[in-house]
Amino acid sequence: GEALVPVANCDVKEYNSNPKEQLPFKEYVEYWREYIRNGYHSSRGCLYLKDWHLSRAFPELDVYTTPVYFSSDWLNEYWDAVAVDDYRFVYMGPKGSWTPFHADVFRSYSWSANICGRKKWLLYPAGQEEFLKDCHGNLPFDVTAPDLRDKRIYPRYGRSQPPLEIIQESGEIVFIPSGWHHQVYNLEDTISINHNWVNGCNVAVMWCFLQDELAAVQREISLWKDPMDDRHLQCQLIMKSCTGIDYKEFYNFLKVIAENRISVLEKGLDEESLSQNNSKAAISTLGMLHAVFDLKRTVKVLSSLSANEDFRKLDLTSLSPSPEALLHHLEAAIDTALL
């Protein structure tokens, strides 16, 4: 009850999101009960507990197990390894709470499991968001707003496809592909578990997203009058502040994922490790061929990163092992595993 949780006000727009505050969990539950008693109205607005890192805050509780279909999860495997962050969230909100139009972090996949309640999803396949941008290139806050039909503001809206609409019931899980923009409504009082995740099937999409993000920063900085000697470093810094990762950290991300798979291929896991609910146990459960598949995908993206001009401008001496050495190690591990 004393745990501080992030709570968004769904009735207020702040930039392209809802403003958040930290509340004790018990206070939020009291608010929610009062909100229901008052016919889903409150002077405080419609408050939505979202992006709560419950698993990270209370690891000893082991409150749920990730479904096997989503267990190849490089994103959370990496953040667990560096013990900095994670992308596992609990959402709790009353009827009428909602999440504005967006695509997920790093253009990752996401899955959302309804513990109770019902949600309505509006989903646009990747690429459709281009038709939903206004005349300044900005995406809408609310994709159902009447303004979108104003051709002076949203000149290409008429070319967009209608969204895919899903009603998600209690006990159902929705999978969101990479780059699919979406907007979500709670049709009833709802509790859900949400993960963002990346694996061998979409890590190349993540790499393309990072290149696009850096290019956008470079375009902005090119408008500055005074050139900078460390322009490439400033671009990496700005990109990391906006997206949460830069090229060096992306290299370390690939390294951790690859080394975990090599470890499993070379050493396997003992019975105690296999019984644990962690990343290495998940890799082992998926099997040797899956580990090899992951290594092959890592090699492909790492080769592209190593050859990238912006990556090569950075001081790579701090990276251990070097990109060339890591690539050689991965290729040797793949060859050995396939013998």
pLDDT in tens, 314-330: 999 999 999 999 999 99
Mean pLDDT of all residues in 180-199: 98
Check: CB of residue 249 under 8 Å from CB of residue 39.
no
Domain of residue 324, residue span: 202-338
Among 179, 197, 215, where does a domain finish? Answer: 197
CA–CA separation, 339 vs 69, rounded Å?
28
Q: Do 41 and 174 belong together in one domain? A: yes
For the chain, the first-to-last Cα distance in angstroms comes to 55
Q: What percent of the chain has pLDDT over 90?
A: 84
**Count of other CB atoms within 10 angstroms of residue 85:** 14
> Residues near 13 by Cβ (< 8 Å), separated by ≥ 6?
100, 141
The helix/strand/coil state of 306 is helix
Check: CB of residue 19 under 8 Å from CB of residue 12.
yes
| pLDDT of amino acid 224 | 78
Among 162, 197, 232, where does a domain finish? Answer: 197
Q: Do 34 and 61 belong together in one domain? A: yes
Report if residue 160 sits inside a domain: no
Q: In a 10 Å sphere around its CB, with 0-12 CB exposed, 13-18 middle and 19+ buried, how is residue 195 labelled?
A: buried
| pLDDT of amino acid 269 | 56
Q: What percent of the chain has pLDDT over 70?
A: 95
Check: CB of residue 55 under 8 Å from CB of residue 86.
yes
Check: CB of residue 66 under 8 Å from CB of residue 195.
yes
CATH at 24: 2.60.120.650
Q: Which two tokens stand for residue 139?
A: 């995406």
Number of domains in the chain: 2
The helix/strand/coil state of 207 is helix
| Site of tokens 């082991």 | 62
Q: What is the pLDDT of residues 123-175, one digit of tens each?
A: 999 999 999 999 999 999 999 999 999 999 999 999 999 999 999 999 999 99
CA–CA separation, 14 vs 17, rounded Å?
5
CA–CA separation, 283 vs 78, rounded Å?
13
Beta bridge partners of 120: 167, 185
Q: Do 63 and 176 belong together in one domain? A: yes
Beta bridge partners of 35: none
Q: Do 333 and 225 belong together in one domain? A: yes
Q: Do 211 and 188 belong together in one domain? A: no
Report if residue 65 sits inside a domain: yes
CA–CA separation, 110 vs 91, rounded Å?
14
Report if residue 87 sits inside a domain: yes
- Give the max Cα distance, the chain: 68
Helices (H) and strands (E) in the chain, counts: 11, 11
Q: Do 81 and 102 belong together in one domain? A: yes
Q: Do 329 and 266 belong together in one domain? A: yes
What's the CA angle centered on 300, arms 299 and 306, to 5 degrees?
80
Report if residue 53 sits inside a domain: yes
Entry field: residues in the chain: 339
Q: Do 186 and 248 belong together in one domain? A: no
Instruction: Reply yes or no on whether the pLDDT at 76 is more than 60.
Output: yes
Report if residue 157 sits inside a domain: no
Model confidence at 278, pLDDT cuts 50, 70, 90, reads low
Report if residue 109 sits inside a domain: yes
What one-letter code names the amino acid at 213? E
Residue 271: HSE in the Cβ half-sphere, 13 Å Cα cutoff = 0
**DSSP designation for 147:** G
Residue/partner pairs of 242-245 with CB below 8 Å, 24 or more apart: 242/213, 242/217, 243/105, 243/106, 243/210, 243/213, 244/105, 244/106, 245/106, 245/210
Q: In a 10 Å sphere around its CB, with 0-12 CB exposed, 13-18 middle and 19+ buried, how is residue 267 labelled?
A: exposed
> Residues near 153 by Cβ (< 8 Å), separated by ≥ 6?
134, 135, 147
Q: Do 174 and 247 belong together in one domain? A: no
Report if residue 75 sits inside a domain: yes
Report if residue 140 sits inside a domain: no
Q: Do 307 and 278 belong together in one domain? A: yes
Distances (CA, A) of 15 to 19, 107, 141: 9, 21, 9
Instruction: Specify the pTM.
Output: 0.92
Q: Do 256 and 206 belong together in one domain? A: yes
Residue 131: HSE in the Cβ half-sphere, 13 Å Cα cutoff = 14
Check: CB of residue 324 under 8 Å from CB of residue 255.
no
Q: Which two tokens stand for residue 174?
A: 């929705």
| pLDDT of amino acid 226 | 72
Q: Do 297 and 247 belong together in one domain? A: yes
Q: What is the pLDDT of residues 223-275, one digit of tens each?
A: 876 777 788 999 999 999 999 999 999 999 999 999 999 988 887 755 555 55
